[in-house]
Amino acid sequence: MLVELRDAGSGTLLNRVQLDDPPHPGSWLELDGICYLIMQRQHRYSLKGGAYQLSAVALVVKPQSRPVDAKYWRHGWVIGDPTCRFNALSPLLRCVVWPDGPCGECSHFEAR
């Protein structure tokens, strides 16, 4: 399937690639040594034989390296310690108390 990578800030086309299974928002994609965070996924349809068919996918991405403490947990990627009560359970934000981390040095840890 044809997948377009578009910059989240400007909307400019960064690349077009063929992928079997396009990634979902909140995951990272690495292409040609550059890591992208998927912010949004947009579908493009075409009318063929009286029915709409998925023809392409546009991924709105932000060039960002995957944090060292990012891990796949339950529903998707999270940054930091997902067992902490204050963790945002998000690939975008670590936690409310200390968003810059790291979690190992935080004195506010509380188990969920």
pLDDT 10s per residue in the chain (112 long)? Answer: 899 999 999 999 999 999 998 999 988 898 988 999 999 999 999 999 999 999 999 999 999 888 888 888 887 888 888 888 888 888 888 888 888 777 777 888 888 8
Other residues' Cβ atoms within 10 Å of the Cβ of residue 37? 22
In the chain, the amino acid numbered 103 is C
Q: Which residue has the tokens 């990627």?
A: 77
What residues form DSSP beta bridges with 51? 48
pTM flag (> 0.85): no
DSSP 8-state symbol, 65: P
**To which residue do tokens 């891990």 refer?**
71
